[in-house]
Each structure stands twice: as structure tokens, then as C-alpha cells.
């Protein structure tokens, strides 16, 4: 399963009301580190598809949600379970570190 795109309008239903954990990648097209981790997140999405949904939110097209959540630096990854943020990570990391962090939080 590939990553899914989330918008300000769909954040509530796609993330907060999801039956399984959702990792939200807050990113922007102009962000080099965001582009660096995108392929790793796609691979992790495929590898952990039964455990977690990986969602992407473009902060330039959807400024309300990141603003209300206090997102200040990108890439910013936030893991939600049962409608609550349970973990977060700011900055780019190699795939192995991203996957190990995520698995440790699931």
C-alpha cells in the first residue's frame, strides 16, 4: 500500500478516526530533506501496511492542521493511535532509523 494524501478537510476522518495507527509526514515540495525521506516512507508503507497507514500532508496546501498542531520544522513525522498523537520525530533519517523508530512506537 502506498502512502495516502491527507488534507485539512480529511485529517479528522483519515487520521484521528482511523482504526489503525497513522504516521503523518508533514512536508513541503521545496523541502530537500522531505524529498530525501519520501522513498523510504513509501517502502516502509509497503513493508508495514498491515500495522500502520503512512499519510502525507503538504503544509503549503494545507496550512491549518500543521499550524494548529504546532508543526515548526519539516520533515515532521507524527504517529497517531486512537485519535491521539503518541510519538513525533523531526528531521530526515535513514530508512533503517525511521523504520526502527516506527516499529518501536507501534
And the C-alpha cell for 14? 483519515
31 is catalytic: yes
Note the pTM of the prediction, 2 decimals: 0.96
Positive or negative: CA dihedral 51, 106, 46, 55: positive
Catalytic residue among 34, 48, 52, 89: 34
Q: Is the pLDDT at 103 greater than 60, yes or no? A: yes
60 noted as active-site residue:
no
What pLDDT, on the 0 to 100 scale, is given for residue 20? Answer: 96
Find all residues with CB under 8 Å of 15, minimum gap 6, and list them. Answer: 6, 22, 24, 55, 80
Q: Which of 31, 71, 77, 89 is catalytic?
A: 31
Tell me: the pLDDT tens digits for 30-81?
999 999 999 999 999 999 999 999 999 999 999 999 999 999 999 999 999 9
Q: Do 33 and 75 meet the contact criterion of CB atoms below 8 Å apart?
A: yes
CATH of domain 4-105: 3.40.30.10
| Domain extents in the chain | 4-105
Band (2; pLDDT cuts 50, 70, 90): confident
Grid coordinates given for 74:
519539516
Shortest CA distance to 65 belongs to which of 25, 38, 35, 18?
Answer: 25
In this predicted structure, what is the pLDDT of residue 94? 97
Res 1: pLDDT: 57
Amino acid at each position: 500500500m502506498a502512502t495516502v494524501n491527507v488534507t485539512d478537510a480529511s485529517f479528522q476522518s483519515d487520521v484521528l478516526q482511523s482504526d489503525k495507527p497513522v504516521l503523518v509526514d508533514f512536508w513541503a515540495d521545496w523541502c530537500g530533506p522531505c524529498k530525501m525521506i519520501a522513498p523510504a516512507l513509501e517502502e516502509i508503507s509497503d513493508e508495514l501496511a498491515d500495522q500502520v497507514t503512512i499519510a502525507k500532508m503538504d503544509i503549503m496546501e494545507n496550512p491549518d492542521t500543521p499550524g494548529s498542531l504546532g508543526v515548526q520544522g519539516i520533515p515532521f513525522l507524527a504517529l497517531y493511535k486512537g485519535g491521539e498523537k503518541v510519538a513525533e520525530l523531526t528531521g530526515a533519517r535513514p530508512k533503517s532509523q525511521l523504520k526502527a523508530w516506527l516499529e518501536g512506537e507501534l
